[in-house]
Amino acid sequence: MLSRVAESIYWMSRYIERAENVARFVDVNLHLMLDLPAGFDDQWHPLVSTTGDQEVFAERYGPPTRKNVVEFLTFDRSNLNSIISCARAARENARSVREIISSEMWEQVNKLYLSVNQEAADGWTIEELHDFFTHVKMASHLFAGIADATMSHGEAWNFFNLGRMLERADKTSRILDVKYFILLPTVADVGTPYDDIQWAAVLRSASAFEMYRKTHGRIAPDQVVDFLLLDYQFPRAIRFCIVKADEALHAISGAPVGTFSNPAEQRLGHLRSDLAYTQVREVLSKGLHEFLDRLQTKLNRVGDGIHENFFAPRPLAGTAAQRQQ
């Protein structure tokens, strides 16, 4: 497979997953504001922190409010992490590999792009956004289902899954980090009903609320962290995503799982092992924010390794004079 084709498939899946995640946590925050008192107006700033775009947002919009945060994360074309930008980037990557993906996949990503652009052109109100965000989430689910059912499960499919799982692990870690580190206004709110409401919102941001309640019942912060970080069965838990990404990467390289043939596999294997032998009480005792910060750094290094090994152009073999000839 050509490296440019693999890279386009990898980023196509990442951008679709990113658009879905942004739609999910903005929609959850809109509903969260209905349950919190007026003093909790700062709940919009953490959404910008989740995407890592605080500086860009502050330069262009100033203080975070509901309207400008929603605009920035949803319809701002200059924000590369907004839903409309992700839909555009996913479509461009899909267009460049139409000979590899199925026609149904192309039609679905194109429909998502057109519907998001239509919504932006028509103008929006807060009351209409829930249906829009639901549409984006379902379009992403449909795209993943179509890919699973219509795409050969070979090398291209593994690049598709690799990108999707790494993006999902990154977003789950950011949602957890924001809640634990900066979401609560004061320490006095810990253990109050507002704290429970926010932890429930964290679970809903990862579509994990129902599965968590079936597994653990009552909401407890340490169990929420354990479920979203270390659960090996829930498909949006970080450990689950890392395992599936590792399997996809080994399927691409052909190296047996448990070994490595390139730096990306080595880094991802280290991360998989760390999560497999980590307990939540150790994470919390040493600091969840610090743990997640290191995890995000490791995920970035995995992404760098994937780019260097599979996507980056390499010089031709031989001497400089031979290459010139």
Q: Is 19 within a domain?
A: yes
Q: Is 249 within a domain?
A: yes
Residues 111, 199 within the same domain: no
- 3-class DSSP state of 291: helix
Question: What pLDDT score was predicted for residue 205?
Answer: 87
The partner residues of 259 in beta bridges, in order of sequence, read: 257
Residues 85, 39 within the same domain: yes
What tokens does 71 get? 């605009």
Residues 96, 47 within the same domain: yes
Residues 271, 306 within the same domain: yes
Report the first-to-last Cα separation within the chain, whole angstroms. 27
Q: Is 260 within a domain?
A: yes
Residues 25, 90 within the same domain: yes
The partner residues of 257 in beta bridges, in order of sequence, read: 259
Domain final residue, candidates 151, 179, 209: 151
Q: Which residue has the tokens 């639901």?
A: 134
Residues 147, 169 within the same domain: no
Taking a C-beta distance cutoff of 8 angstroms, is the pair 86, 22 a contact? yes
For residue 105, the Cα-to-chain-centroid distance in whole angstroms is 20
What tokens does 307 get? 């780019």
Domain final residue, candidates 151, 184, 216: 151
Q: Which domain holds residue 248?
A: 164-313
Q: Is 318 within a domain?
A: no
Taking a C-beta distance cutoff of 8 angstroms, is the pair 275, 283 a contact? no
Mean pLDDT by 10 residues, the chain (325 residues): 94 97 88 62 73 85 87 93 96 96 97 94 81 94 96 96 97 84 50 70 90 92 94 96 97 92 95 95 90 94 96 63 38
Taking a C-beta distance cutoff of 8 angstroms, is the pair 84, 76 a contact? yes
For residue 182, the Cα-to-chain-centroid distance in whole angstroms is 19
Taking a C-beta distance cutoff of 8 angstroms, is the pair 74, 84 a contact? yes
Domain final residue, candidates 92, 117, 151: 151
273: phi > 0 → left, psi -120 to 50 → alpha, else beta; which? alpha
Question: What pLDDT score was predicted for residue 324?
Answer: 39
Residues 224, 126 within the same domain: no
Residues 210, 287 within the same domain: yes
Residues 175, 305 within the same domain: yes
What tokens does 221 get? 């912060």
Residues 118, 188 within the same domain: no
Residues 169, 147 within the same domain: no
When divided into structural domains, the chain yields a total of 2
Residues 114, 231 within the same domain: no
Taking a C-beta distance cutoff of 8 angstroms, is the pair 11, 19 a contact? no
